[in-house]
A and B are shown apart, each in its own frame.
Chain A
Amino acid sequence: NAGVTQTPKFQVLKTGQSMTLQCAQDMNHEYMSWYRQDPGMGLRLIHYSVGAGITDQGEVPNGYNVSRSTTEDFPLRLLSAAPSQTSVYFCASSTTYDRQETQYFGPGTRLLVL
């Protein structure tokens, strides 16, 4: 049981490039979400999904797209990277979207946009 996995671990992009951050979980969790972690700002919610085919915006969704075609995968897309998107990105999942469920976090992707 690998839990929540994320790839790549580290990525450097040039401004304007696009890329997809991958997130997968093997726990059959319904709920998945993406956070970004910036110094002095904690973690902020980007997008979330309560099940396959259902996504919604979080606190800081601009510049990011998501889709959820399967229960296991929840990729995060940057269509045109900007330096302001330099951050550490964490994917998380929980059994359901019930607010009392513990969220399990992946190891993170460190992104640098030049």
Chain B
Amino acid sequence: AQSVSQHNHHVILSEAASLELGCNYSYGGTVNLFWYVQYPGQHLQLLLKYFSGDPLVKGIKGFEAEFIKSKFSFNLRKPSVQWSDTAEYFCAVNAILTGGGNKLTFGTGTQLKVEL
């Protein structure tokens, strides 16, 4: 079965600092990769996704992620964080050979706190 690991459970940064959140997955076949964000008191929303092509994908609010197939990784980055980026971030994977349906396997999440 596929699994997703997010090694950083809690991250605290100052405004304007750079951000990189790690995400590794275990499945060796073709995958679709997602980053979702959950702002305090809100529901999950999509930040960005990767299916194929350019391994560097850009999402909303200045976020980007790089797919490195050889490392089974899909790390999320932002050059300069803002206080409003305080949220929980989830990496998710959808493997092609896990049967029908748009079934996502989520990581455990990373709680990001940005301090002024």
Contact = CB atoms under 8 A, between A and B. Distances in A.
Q: A and B, one complex?
A: yes
Interface stretch (B14-22, B70-78, B102-110): B102-110
Contacts of A108: 43
Contacts of A106: 43
Interface residues of B, number: 26
A53 interface: no
Kindly name the residue among A42, A97, A106 whose own CB sees the greatest number of chain B CB atoms within 10 A: A42
Interface in A77-114: 90, 92, 94, 96-103, 105-108
B67 interface: no
Interface string B43-84: 111100101000000000000000000000000000000000
Interface of B: 4, 6, 9, 32, 36, 42-46, 49, 51, 90, 92, 94, 96, 100-109
Nearest to A31: B102
A71 to B, nearest CB: 16
Nearest to B36: A105
B44 A90 contact: yes
Contact of B49 (A59, A97, A102, A105): A102
A101 B90 CA distance: 17
B32 A99 contact: yes
Interface of A: 4, 31, 33, 35, 40-45, 48, 50, 56, 58-59, 90, 92, 94, 96-103, 105-108
A97 B44 contact: no
Nearest to B41: A107
A45 B92 CA distance: 12
A58 to B, nearest CB: 7
Contacts of A43: 44, 90, 92, 104, 106
Contacts of B108: 40-42
B5 to A, nearest CB: 10
Contacts of A56: 100-101
B100 A45 contact: no
Contacts of A45: 103-105
A85 B68 CA distance: 37
